[in-house]
């Protein structure tokens, strides 16, 4: 029996097209009588179903069902179904094949649909049948959206039957109630035209709790391409309000006008939006990069992330005989050593505190002279600073003990800094100074996160040109040309065609990207990281590179497990501290 039903699952094929007009949609209106209680795979005593399309009845299915358990007396009083009537009736496992075949390729309709669908799904699960997951339309929910309290006091089936003057009145018997629901459905569909609801997909969505703005602006999704790319919600004066990306622009934009979209700021944005602009892209990587660049260029008010990529800071080692760490807005060719970029000054200062815990770097901001001394601060008295201000340490020794370890940690191996911080955490833990140990741990996380990120970005940005390919979903190859960490060109090679001509065309029309200073000389860190994620996928193939893609052998990446462990510990501590 299960094998017979294997081909009945609409989810295996296209199913009912949500764009199908209501007048051309086949509906199966169903009603169940049960023994009451929760859906556990049994309890169904009667099934009634009517198939209709365009106002014409196509078929009916009605049967009593033996639930295998006694019927409660109040159910007999309510429905008139007795135990004697159900003794010769077939059990639900014998009824399901006929019912599932009857509802195949149709929209399932019921009054208070979650109740009926819940019993049917549980019965399928209990007896080994695959639930076909049809589209479901709830007439009770539809009535709540269409009819006002002035028209009907409630949305019970009996009330709606009287209001629409159905040919059959509900009697708490499955077929009668299903036939009454058919007339109620037709009455409700007649009212949907005034709400600009004409398709089955729109009708199902209309039953959900969408805002007036969502319903009023739903037409903004019309005519958009089902292609990867970027979409831009624009105001009446053409200002970008919100920028997003998707592998299917049309489907993603439509989701903003459904009940699934509950964000208050998006609801406010939809109220102001007047049109949606689509920018088609070759593939998902190009779409993600274009999204980042558009957000950076226009700073749309309803985008929260990536709005000001230029507002980054760096942690730099200053020049001079006794260098110190300084938080700066940019770096230049002459800078000795640096770490970043950081998204905020606070993040940079946290990493700086980690280096100060591990290295004897001075923290004062004075300009020190090799000829004259300056009075030492309290940090020198506490042994936290070698007091270069009083010339207690030579410039050479200071460089060896403090400055050079910072250069090494950022450019190649951070092990000495990591070991010093771990030792401090262990010592604080041994003294039961757990809060101080947690502070040092957060500094360790900041140091490792920044060094791993910068070395990873630097490895990519050193390559003048890199070409990569990834299999496209429908055949062919997705191609990307990256120059100094910036996406310079993108395209898709068709299936069955060698990708070399497409790659040559991309190269000929690609953006010229000059070399620069730092780990992100030509793009934002976020763009380069998106490119890295795309390149590091197992299915991506590197086609050509002008130079080797390399990272330091003893680089920060080898501490990724430690970083993940420290981040996890910090997250667990935060969750336990919350009330």
Q: Report the candidate in 315, 311, 305, 359 with the shortest Cα–Cα distance to residue 337.
A: 315
What gap in Å lies between CA 185 and CA 138, rounded to an integer?
9
Q: State the DSSP string of 353-373.
A: HHHHHHS----------SSS-
Catalytic residue among 111, 127, 172, 298: 172
Contact 221, 18 (CB under 8 A): no
Comparing C-alpha atoms, which of 134, 120, 122, 124 is closest to residue 2? 124
Q: Distance between CA 9 and CA 18 in Å, rounded?
A: 17
In the block, tokens 């070991």 appear at: 419
Residue 172 is a catalytic residue: yes
CB 348 within 8 A of CB 356: no
- Euclidean distance between CA atoms 26 and 32, whole angstroms: 20
CA dihedral 360, 365, 369, 373 (to 10 degrees): -80
Buried b (16+ CB within 10 A) or exposed e, 306-338: beebeebbbbbbbeeebbbbebbeebeeebebb
Give the integer Cα–Cα distance in Å for 240 and 243: 7
Region for residue 377 given its phi and psi (left: phi exceeds 0; alpha: psi -120 to 50; beta: otherwise):
beta
Strands 477-483 and 466-471: antiparallel
Structural tokens at position 370: 């090799």
Residues in the chain: 579
- Residue 287's Cβ-count burial label (10 Å; 0-12, 13-18, 19+) is buried
* Separation between Cα atoms, residue 180 and residue 162, nearest integer Å: 10
* Inter-CA distances, 563 with 303, 449, 558, Å: 30, 7, 10
State phi, psi for 519 to the nearest 5 degrees: -75, -15
As annotated, the active-site residues are 172
């Amino acid at each position: 029996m299960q094998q017979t039903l294997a081909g009945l699952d609409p989810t295996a094929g296209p199913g009912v097209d949500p764009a199908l007009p209501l007048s051309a949609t086949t509906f199966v209106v169903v009603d169940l009588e049960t023994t009451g209680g929760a859906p556990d795979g049994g309890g169904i005593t009667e099934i009634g179903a009517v198939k209709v399309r365009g106002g014409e009845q196509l078929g009916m299915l009605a049967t009593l069902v033996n639930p295998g358990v006694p019927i409660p007396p109040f159910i007999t009083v309510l429905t008139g179904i007795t135990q004697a009537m159900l003794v010769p009736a077939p059990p639900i496992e014998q009824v399901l094949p006929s019912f599932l075949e009857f509802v195949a390729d149709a929209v399932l309709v019921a009054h208070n649909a979650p109740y009926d669908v819940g019993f049917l799904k549980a019965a399928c699960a209990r007896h080994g049948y695959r639930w076909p997951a049809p589209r479901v339309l709830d007439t009770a929910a539809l009535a709540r959206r269409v009819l006002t309290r002035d028209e009907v006091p409630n949305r019970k089936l009996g009330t709606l039957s009287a209001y629409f003057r159905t040919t059959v009145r509900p009697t708490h018997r499955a077929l009668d109630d299903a036939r009454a629901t058919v007339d109620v459905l037709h009455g409700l569909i007649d009212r949907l035209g005034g709400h600009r609801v004409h398709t089955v997909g729109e009708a199902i969505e209309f039953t959900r709790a969408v805002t007036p703005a969502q319903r009023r602006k739903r037409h903004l999704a019309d005519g958009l391409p089902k292609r990867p790319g970027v979409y831009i919600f624009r105001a009446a004066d053409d200002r970008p309000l919100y920028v997003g990306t998707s592998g299917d622009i049309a489907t993603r934009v439509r989701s903003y006008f459904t009940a699934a979209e509950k964000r208050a700021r998006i609801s406010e944005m939809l109220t102001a939006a007047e049109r949606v602009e689509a920018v088609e892209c070759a593939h998902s990587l190009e779409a993600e990069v274009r999204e980042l660049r558009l957000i950076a260029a226009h700073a749309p008010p309803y985008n929260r992330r990536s709005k000001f990529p230029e507002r980054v800071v760096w942690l730099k080692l200053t020049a001079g005989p006794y260098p110190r760490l300084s938080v700066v807005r940019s770096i230049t060719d002459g800078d000795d050593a640096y770490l970043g970029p950081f998204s905020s000054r606070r993040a940079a200062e946290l990493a700086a505190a980690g280096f100060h815990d591990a290295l004897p770097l001075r923290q004062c901001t004075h300009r020190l002279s090799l000829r004259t001394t300056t009075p030492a601060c309290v940090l020198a008295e506490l042994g936290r600073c070698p007091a270069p201000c009083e010339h207690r340490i030579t410039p050479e020794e200071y460089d060896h003990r403090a400055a050079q370890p910072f250069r090494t940690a950022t450019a190649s191996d951070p092990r000495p800094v990591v070991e010093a911080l771990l030792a401090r955490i262990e010592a604080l833990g041994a003294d039961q100074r757990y809060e101080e140990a947690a502070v040092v741990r957060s500094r360790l996380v900041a140091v490792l996160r920044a060094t791993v990120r910068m070395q990873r970005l630097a490895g990519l940005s050193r390559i003048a040109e890199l070409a990569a390919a990834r299999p496209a979903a429908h055949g062919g190859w997705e191609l990307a040309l990256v120059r100094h960490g910036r996406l310079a060109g993108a395209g898709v090679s068709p299936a069955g065609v060698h990708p070399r001509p497409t790659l040559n065309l991309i190269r000929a029309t690609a953006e010229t990207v000059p070399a620069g200073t730092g780990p992100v000389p030509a793009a934002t860190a976020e763009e380069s990281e998106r490119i890295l994620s795309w390149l590091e996928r197992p299915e991506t193939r590197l086609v050509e590179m002008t130079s080797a893609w390399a990272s330091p052998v003893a680089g920060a990446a080898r501490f990724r497990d430690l970083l993940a462990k420290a981040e996890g510990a910090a997250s667990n501590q935060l969750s336990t501290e919350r009330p």
